[in-house]
Chain A
Amino acid sequence: MLLLKTIFRKEFLYLWRYKANTIASIIFMSVIFLGILLIPDTFIAIATHGKSKLVVLGPLVLWLIMQTSFTSITQGIIGDSTLGTLEQLYISSGGYCKIIFLKALSSFILNMIPTFSIICIISLIIKTNLLGFLIGLPIIILGIPSIWGFSLIAGAFILAFKQVSMIVTIFSVIFFSGISYLSLKNMDSIFFHILPFGTSNKVSLSIIQNINYDFGIFDMIMIIANSTVYLVIGIMCFKFAENYAKKHGKLGMH
């Protein structure tokens, strides 16, 4: 608990120290959300073949959650390598994996607070029912470990090969945009369940869009299994990369 508190405090202080950056991203997010919600219904209906604004807003919010959860781990590894603190974190804790998990968790909480606050404020201002976002939150939380596991796989590449951060960033943007796009198609293939955050994305999107989705035990098992499998694979890949980096003396290098 002390470790979580310590890391959460540091993450919060970093957000606070980069005030301008933090405020700018909150304003940017608010403008985008408001922009979508203020577009006349008729335009949205034409673009989305008669569906509501939530068809656009839902995937956007989920994409944002996936992307920030992913980058909180990958950018954390890149940041610690570049700053020179990575080896110090290893020495101080006897391992890095648990630190990046707690860092990702702290970052998730700190990102979700402004995101959902904005959603709630906007829904009150423009009197749109955005309750689905709050109802879908537990499903999102259950699915997030799969993104962390997936980003640990990317983190393993960063740790072992160092100069792949740009490739990882580009890949993640395309990959998560792809998942958001596929979820819009309302796919029901097994392929979608295999993707990280696949089932969570699909179920939470249905809840957000107020679709009468029949959420059952199968979905729940799939969400938990998806998260567990990706997390285990991610940890294994990261440990493997850690050994590779230690063998080649590349742990702290960037």
Chain B
Amino acid sequence: MTTISIKNLTKYYPRKKGAVKALDDISVEINDNQIVGLLGQNGSGKTTFIKSCTNLITFDGNIMLECNGKKRKLTHKDYSAVLEGNRNIYWKLTALENIRFFAGLRGIKYSKIKNLANDLLKTLYLYDKKDCLVETLSRGMQQKTALICTLVVDTPIVFLDEPTLGLDVESKNQLKEFFSHGEFVKNKLILATSHDLEFIRTIASKHLFIKSGKIHDIDMKNINNKIYKITFDCSLTQNTEFAGVEFKSNCIYVNTEQIRLSTVLNYLEHENVNITDILKMNNDIETIYLNFIKEK
């Protein structure tokens, strides 16, 4: 069992007009065998958080790796990362040469990772392009090459900073598929930041929201995703008989976890209400995220 234990992580960037607080006393634990999605607006501290974990910036606080009851500092051998997507790799080298280069930097011979590299190239639909210069590949392919360079070294922890940035729908879906069902991400701790809420919702098993340098752990399992909005062309008075129905002026919100939708529809028909619209509320990660960033 591997856990990243972060305690009182604080980062101030010294600036001429006074220090800017980027991370504000963050304490969080992240376990292995899970994909963690870190969501937040621009400037909320996502990249600073990853850079702190990867020792690319200095910070106050502790980031420790807890493994089999022993605690120690994170070293570069524990993690790999994709930080700037397609800018992380050398464009004048081929995809395979990049893979070989970044593995070599970690002291890993190509012969040891050849099979894994080929499997990853095939899974991410890049095998045919493995000998093409990165500069000739599309943005999505470059991004996937950077991802392979990161995964091929097989570290227990992987950080991904905005892996879907600038990707088309097809590439995004390929990545979703890769992270959701891929054997290559098993037994790893993956922390991914993204503005793509749908991507994070699909791949992540744990969701962290970050705002003004503070992290909030959102338990998505408790989020009710079964609310319907029924709109009509008249007004109804509140009927207290129905638990799970919220009456508004010309609409009602039905929580189908508490009451059957058909029961409410029968009631409305009985009341001779002319229904104009029935909408399943998108009360998912997007709504929660938007509510979260609106909160003071």
Binding site for B on A (CB under 8 A): 2-3, 5-7, 9-10, 13-14, 17-18, 83-85, 87-94, 99, 243, 246-249, 251-252
Contact = CB atoms under 8 A, between A and B. Distances in A.
A246 B58 contact: yes
B54 interface: yes
B75 A248 contact: no
B18 interface: no
Contact of A94 (B75, B90, B91): B75
A90 B106 CA distance: 11
A2 B199 CA distance: 38
B88 interface: yes
Contacts of B55: 90
A87 B102 CA distance: 12
B84 A87 contact: yes
B226 interface: no
A26 B242 CA distance: 87
B13 interface: yes
Contacts of B84: 84, 87-88, 252
Interface residues of B, number: 36
Interface string B25-36: 000000000000
A13 to B, nearest CB: 6
Interface string B94-118: 0001001110111101000000000
B76 interface: yes
Interface string B59-88: 000000000000000011101110110011
B56 A248 contact: no
B96 to A, nearest CB: 11
B80 A91 contact: yes
Interface in B14-60: 14, 22, 48, 51, 54-58
11 contacts: A3-B104, A6-B105, A9-B104, A14-B92, A84-B84, A84-B88, A85-B88, A89-B105, A90-B54, A246-B56, A248-B13
B104 A252 contact: no
B14 A247 contact: yes
A99 B83 contact: no
Given A2-B109, A90-B54, A92-B80, 18 more contacts: A2-B107, A6-B105, A10-B101, A13-B93, A14-B90, A14-B93, A85-B89, A87-B83, A88-B81, A88-B83, A88-B102, A89-B105, A90-B55, A93-B106, A94-B77, A246-B56, A248-B13, A252-B84
Nearest to B103: A6
Contacts of A5: 104
B51 to A, nearest CB: 7
A18 B106 CA distance: 26
Contact of B105 (A17, A92, A249): A92
A99 B54 CA distance: 18
Contacts of A93: 76, 105-106
B79 A17 contact: no
Contacts of B102: 88, 92
